[in-house]
Amino acid sequence: MDMLMFQLQKQSTIPLYKQLYREIRTAITAGKIAVDTKLPSKRKLADYLQISQTTVELAYSQLVAEGFIEPRPRKGFFTMPVEELAYLDLPQEETAIRDVPKPTYVYDFNPARIDTRSFPFPTWRKTAREVIDEENHELLLAGHPQGDESLRAEIARYLYQSRGVVCEPEQIIVGSGTEQLMPLLIRLFDKNLSFGFENPGYALTHSIFEHDDRQAFPIAVDEDGIEVQELDKTGVDIAYVTPSHQFPTGSILSATRRAQLLNWAAASPERYIIEDDYDSEFRYTSQPIPALQSMDVGGRVIYVSTFSKSIMPSLRIAYLVLPPRLLNAYRKTFLHYTSTVPRIDQQIVATFMQKGHFSRHLNRMRKLYRKKLECLMQALDPYQPLVTVSGEQAGMHVVLTIDTERTEQNLVSLASDAGIRVFAMQNYDLLKQKSTSPKIVLGFGGLDENEIQQGIGQLMACWNITKTSSSAKR
């Protein structure tokens, strides 16, 4: 028994069985208990250490599970040979690693937020119940590696009707978010090919190219979208663009630039355009602009979109529409891959779309976001021309240009101190260029109309921007 005279701390927050398990394990790995040594019975060791037999049983069970000891019928527990593992003798930290607490805001103008309070939970719940109640045993198995055929068929139908995208369901790849699909897409191209991306632009794209060790160059954006001449001068092979509503500037790729971009892609067999159509469902000033893919006759545009804004960010369903040549390459490269989206989730979305719930939801949300945008513009109007707005034609964010001597980071800090979350345009600019006037990216999707009005009032107050006399007369 001397070899098992352990010091157990009965007042410790660590359970006694875990303390005993660790003591025996350490004694075995340190050689203090020789191989093939018989351990005391659970009853004897419990009496000796003045603990319960259950505590000893739990410790022994864990040691058996990890291969440190073995039970032998009618003989007891015996130690097993264990290779030296240095890490086993290291003291283990009991303190859990805690995340840094996120700041809380009274008014959060995050452009990624949606209106969760208007989500049709009853309809979604009913749809989910219908899918599960069918007892379709096939849903328990791995489905098509590109995504369930029913979902891809609904996506193809929706894209043709709403965006003019012409494709077959076979061209669609379903995945768990743009950040999961983009690395797969990048791997279809030769490593010698280079990428051009909008600057300022979506920050995630910058890191994806970097993580995949690909040459990528920032290409300037103006009020007409990406500057195609600069794209041509840089000599890149693949362009990543957000033509329908550039993020974050809100500019829309003009008709002239669209033609230039398609001509640029057609000039070389290695060139492609990645069209990210992330929030095209929400346009307020005119009819939706057809996707760039709908104008493509040479199979040079790869269409990317997601349900994050149209349904919910947590759904984690995005999709690619690959031209036929790249589709063949995808199937060869990722022959053994399976879809990363659970089939039940895919079927819920497919049914949600097939029964018309998706289109009705979009119509409601389009009207709701239009009202919010109108409310935002009315709240900002009294502060013109000190504050001007751009990018309001579509999407769920706008850009404020502030006539002030303060920097963007200073404005963001002042807002944060007042409990308001806004974003500096420089956060999305890889080159960190200084503009003549600071620009702030302001999302409005996650706030109601009262919060928008109150939030703008307090935002202007913390920036010491007062209503102008001309706007007050209006």
**Residue 154 belongs to domain with CATH number:** 3.40.640.10
Q: Specify whether 325 is located in the same domain as 371.
A: no
C-alpha 63/C-alpha 125 separation (Å) is 45
Residue 102's pLDDT is 76
Residue 50's pLDDT is 86
C-alpha 80/C-alpha 70 separation (Å) is 7
User: Domain boundary at 45, 68, 89, which?
Assistant: 89
Q: At what angle are helices 408-417 and 449-462 packed, to 10 degrees?
A: 120
Give how many domains the chain has, as a whole number: 3
Q: H-helix or E-strand containing 64?
A: helix 53-65
Q: Specify whether 29 is located in the same domain as 178.
A: no
Listed in sequence order, the DSSP H helices in 267-391 are: 324-333, 343-354, 357-380
Q: Is the dihedral of CA 322, 326, 332, 336 positive or negative?
A: negative
For residue 248, tell me if it sits in a domain.
yes
Residue 208's pLDDT is 87
Q: Which amino acid is at 327?
A: L
Closest to 57 in 3D by CA, of 29, 6, 20, 14: 20
Q: Specify whether 32 is located in the same domain as 141.
A: no
Q: Which domain holds residue 18?
A: 2-89
Q: Specify whether 262 is located in the same domain as 317.
A: yes
**Number of CB atoms found within 10 A of residue 255's CB:** 11
Residue 90's pLDDT is 47
Q: Specify whether 384 is located in the same domain as 441.
A: yes
C-alpha 58/C-alpha 45 separation (Å) is 13
Does pTM top 0.85 for this prediction?
no
The separation between the first and the last C-alpha atoms of the chain, rounded to the nearest angstrom, is 92
**Number of CB atoms found within 10 A of residue 62's CB:** 18
Q: H-helix or E-strand containing 196?
A: strand 195-199
Q: Specify whether 233 is located in the same domain as 341.
A: yes
Closest to 275 in 3D by CA, of 256, 262, 284: 262
For residue 112, tell me if it sits in a domain.
no
Report the DSSP beta bridge partners of residue 386: none
Q: Specify whether 201 is located in the same domain as 252.
A: yes
For residue 375, tell me if it sits in a domain.
yes
User: Domain boundary at 337, 355, 373, which?
Assistant: 355
Residue 97's pLDDT is 53
**Which position has the token pair 């768990």?**
176
C-alpha 266/C-alpha 433 separation (Å) is 32
Task: List average pLDDT for each run of 10 residues in the chain, which is 474 residues long.
Answer: 70 88 88 89 88 91 90 90 56 55 89 94 96 84 93 96 94 94 94 94 82 89 93 94 92 92 95 92 78 93 95 94 94 88 96 96 95 96 95 91 94 96 93 85 96 97 85 48
For residue 389, tell me if it sits in a domain.
yes
Q: Specify whether 251 is located in the same domain as 338.
A: yes
